[in-house]
Amino acid sequence: MKILIGNKDNVDFDSPVKMNDTQQARFIEFLHSLFKVVKVEKTGKFRTERIGDKFFMKEWTSEEYAALLEIEDTDKVAEMLGRSWMSVDIKRGGFIPDFLAWTSQKGKDPLKDDIKVLIKEFMKEKEIEILSRRQERKEIRKKQKEILSLQEELGIWDSDKKRNQIDLAIKLGQLKDTTVEAYIKNKKQEITLKIEQFKKELE
């Protein structure tokens, strides 16, 4: 068996380790003696990324967030969660104020209510807010691109090429009851109105 020690002293096995049910249960029990939060995930795939090869992010769970509230010592939390001191310190500074503000707003008591349930509710709401903001940013970028495209189109209507095309269309009878200048003026007004509408929506 080859054990890899990688970024931030994370430990991983070089290859899958076969265990029967009893061995697996004892191994998980051993991990519980080392870490406060141990999560077992079943998968049908072999993970090719090895912690000993490179560092990759690990999502925080509700149990880990609960540890931030239950234990004040950052070093102790880092040790019990198997995370770096900086990771815990940054997450604590961002999570706790937001979470306490949320519980106050919702009329919840983190000292009396089930803290893990509260954290899951909080995380769910935050996830919805993030998705909503992401969609809003996507719509903003889309409208900004539309404005740029329309502004480019606006400039094209003043080109000699466009004027010649309109003049030819009028002579061929494709455009009736209009002149080159009147047609261009009308089109530019339409485009300008669209640009102004997009700008108002972005305000």
What is the per-residue pLDDT across 97-132, written as a single tens digit (0 to 9) for each?
Answer: 999 999 999 998 888 888 888 999 998 888 888 888
Predicted confidence at residue 14, as pLDDT, reads 65
Judge whether residue 136 has pLDDT over 50: yes
DSSP codes, 99-130: HHHHHHHHT--TTTS-HHHHHHHHHHHHHHHH
Close Cβ partners of 105 (under 8 Å, ≥ 6 residues apart): none
Instruction: Determine how many CB atoms are found less than 10 A away from the CB of residue 31.
Output: 14
User: What is the model's pLDDT at position 52?
Assistant: 46
CB 78 within 8 A of CB 9: no
Q: Which of 29-33, 40-44, 54-58 has the highest mean pLDDT?
A: 29-33
Q: How confident is the model at residue 182 (pLDDT cuts 50, 70, 90)?
A: very high
Q: Is the pLDDT of residue 23 over 50?
A: yes
pTM of the predicted model over 0.85: no
Q: What is the DSSP letter of 173?
A: T
Please give the C-alpha separations between residue 48 and each of 34, 40, 56, 90, in angstroms, as whole numbers: 25, 18, 12, 29
* Cα(60)–Cα(90) distance, integer angstroms: 12
Q: How far is CA 93 from the centre of its chain?
A: 19
Higher pLDDT, 72 or 146: 146
Q: What share of the chain is helix, strand, coil (3-state, %, to 5)?
A: 65, 5, 30
Q: Is the pLDDT of residue 174 over 80?
A: yes
pLDDT over 70 at 159, yes or no: yes
Please determine, for residue 18, whether its predicted confidence score (pLDDT) is greater than 50.
yes
